[in-house]
Amino acid sequence: MLISLLISFVVGCSEKTLNDNPGTKIEPILDKYLHNGRLVFKDQETYQNHLKWILSNQSTPDVIIRFNSEMGLVSMKEIYDAGMDLVDNHVDFLAYVEKYPRVFERATYLENSMIFDIEAPVDYAYLINGDGLFQVGNTIYRVSHNYTIEIVDGDESKIPLILSYDESIKDPSIKSVPTSSGAKTQLYYRIDEFPNGDRMVSRHNVVFVDYQYRYSVRTTGQTRVLGIWWQKKLNYIQVSWDEGYWRDSYCTIDYCPNPYPYLILPWFFSATNKADLEYIFLSTEFGALFDVSYCLATHKGQLTDGGVIKVRQADALEDY
């Protein structure tokens, strides 16, 4: 059964981001409500403030989950995390992935490396439901790995169209923007092996959603299963970044409204018995200019208690 499920997931797979201090302020429920399983925001200001609140609480996810629970929302991030708790039980995990096809994105790499990513950036994943849906005013949105899609007239009967969206849809009330904006999503991918052959994968990513670039760093454990590199829980896992700086693409040779680079505050995240950690360290309207920006990211992983600790460091604002 495991072999059959693995083959079905490998065939057809294709290769496929903060400057605020974390806080624990409870997000007010005013101007937000749940409708047909999706979160609805009164207006753009309410929606944007909620996104900023989520980013500021990356280090305290229980605060975000408590808010979602009060609203009645089961977010994509909660669904994804529940699935990743099953990752070492391969049959159960694959069955769970099949149950939530719009939550998990199968990213494949060289040497049969497969990583089950989440369909949306971390901040969005906390506010969208398992189908990637949310609403602002009268506009219904879906966030996916490839597109941000809008039903601008709020017609709920068109939701099935955006759940199976492709560019052949010619409805003028349905708009889409590529999440990558034509740019490479993955900036960095490196492997460090443990003595027994299992390994730690370090990645840096940039995603473009709703006219914002989100830069993230991610550490992942892996083991080989039937010839496929598969996510695996590590005894200890960590991702962090030092104080950094960045300039954005709004600056030109002739004009730059801020002559000094912007500051990226340092932060540190760690966990035990987890397969993945991913956090956004920068969110900006204009893309970072890599040649005049710098943020040193550190990835750490330990397979067993007392075992070897692998460490990988690299500039998270450089395209390797």
The CA-atom distances, in angstroms, between 15 and each of 32, 119, 146 are 36, 13, 12
Yes or no: say if 231 and 276 are a contact pair by the CB < 8 Å rule.
yes
- Token pair, residue 224, equals 């080989």
pLDDT at position 16, please? 36
Residues of the chain with pLDDT under 50: 1, 3, 5, 7-24
Question: From CA 264, how far away is CA 163, in angstroms rounded?
Answer: 36
Question: From CA 309, how far away is CA 302, in angstroms rounded?
Answer: 5
What pTM was computed for the model?
0.87
pLDDT at position 279, please? 96
Q: Which residues pair with 225 in a beta bridge?
A: 228
SS3 261: coil
SS3 19: coil
Yes or no: say if 66 and 73 are a contact pair by the CB < 8 Å rule.
no
Tell which phi-psi region holds residue 313, choosing left (phi > 0), alpha (psi between -120 and 50) or beta: beta
pLDDT at position 250, please? 65
pLDDT at position 255, please? 67
**Helix, strand, coil: what percent of the chain each, to 5?**
20, 40, 40
Q: At what angle do helices 61-71 and 76-84 cross, to 10 degrees?
A: 120
CB atoms within 10 A of CB 278: 19
